[in-house]
Every structure is written in C-alpha cells, then in structure tokens.
Amino acid sequence: MTELILSLDVLDRKQAVSIAEACAPFIDAIKVGYPLVLATGLTIASDLADLALPLIADFKVADIPNTNRLICEAVFSAGFDAVIAHGFVGADAARTCVEVAHKHSGAAYIVTEMSHPGATEFFHGGVAERLAELAVSSRADGIIAPATRPERITRLREIVGSKAIYSPGVGAQGGDIDTVARLVDGVIVGRSIYEAEDPGAEAERFSRIRR
C-alpha cells in the first residue's frame, strides 16, 4: 500500500484542524512545516493529536549537530512522530537528527533531491546519490525524493533499497500521482487537497493510491 500524506501548509489553526479532520479517514499521516508552525506555534501538534495520525515535522533541519539536537528534541517533545532533515550538512549533523528521533521512538527522513525546478542546480551531478548513501549509513528511516522526476526516484531507490521513500511534488508541482505511487512508499500532497473546494473529497480521490 502506498501511503497518502497530507501536507498541511495553511496558516490558520482552525482551518488546519478542520481540513485535517475532513481528510483524516483518507490519509496516513500529516506533514506540518514552517508555514503552519510559524503561524500557530508547535502547539499545533497537540491540536492535531486527536486524529491519531502520525505527524511529520517538515523542518528540513540543517544545522550543526548540537543545534540539530535542540531542534529535534523540541519537535519530538511537542508530539511529532517524525522529522525531515537535510543531509548536505554532513553525516554527523544528519545522524544527530536520526539519533534524537530514535530516542523518542520516532523517525527521521533525509532530503535527497528536492522537487522544484531549481533543485537540479545543486542536487544533480551525484549529490542526491551521495545523500541517499548518507541516509543509509546514518540509519535514517527513509528519504524524501521528487515526484516531479520519477526517473530520479528509480535511481535513488537503487541506493536506499527497502528504506521508505516519501515523495512531494504531485498535483500543484506537476508530478503524476499514478506514476509516482508505484515507485514510493508515500506520496505527499498539499495544495491539491487543502486548496480544493472540498478537501475531504479530494483526499478521498487521492486515497485510491492506498489500495
């Protein structure tokens, strides 16, 4: 089964909770990033906790090991179940995120290649492959790979094997859900769901990938 992960990038607490509630029967996890946390604070995790869905903090953590540790401790103490971190800061810094996640019985995912057009500027030419290797060696739980470039997901899968691959970039960024769903463990969808007139109905439509 391919998971459907809702990327909840709205800026209002009430709206976030109501969209999450409407989508909850059709999704496997909720990803929250800077837009919603900067607008509401980390307490948004408690507001979403009743839905009993895994909460992923998409903070793309990218600092020195000690600061990464402080950030990840705050994330897991707030009630998140997973964190997304960058790997380009190096193995020691990425490993810190993994260690804190595992200490809290949570998960850490490493970004290998981003989904937007400009990502090819730095991630291509072997960097994404090295980041995938780093995800394996640092015992991360999985990677983030671009739904906008399925051929890159296939390449990165060769490196990470059975580790989870979660993929943003379908819908609003142009990625095709059916193509990507066959290649990954979870598809991350934001605007196509939360900007829809009926987010619950749209989540249900996307949730066919779970079958």
Instruction: Give the active site residues.
Output: 60
* Residue 58 near ligand NUP by CB under 6 A: yes
Least distance from ligand NUP to the Cβ atom of residue 34, Å? 8
Of 87, 106, 142, 146, the one binding ligand NUP by CB under 6 A: 146
- Contact between 4 and 189 under an 8 Å Cβ cutoff? The reply is yes
Q: Taking contact as CB under 6 A, which single stretch among the options 18-26, 98-106, 163-171, 200-208 is the one that binds ligand NUP?
A: 163-171
Least distance from ligand NUP to the Cβ atom of residue 158, Å? 19
Selection from 58, 54, 9, 55 nearest residue 195 by Cα:
9
* Residue 7 near ligand NUP by CB under 6 A: yes
Residue count, binding to ligand NUP (CB under 6 A): 20
* Residue 173 near ligand NUP by CB under 6 A: yes
Residues 84-143 that bind ligand NUP (CB under 6 A): 84, 111, 114-115
Q: Which residues bind ligand NUP (CB under 6 A)?
A: 7, 9, 33, 58, 84, 111, 114-115, 144, 146, 168-169, 171-173, 188-192
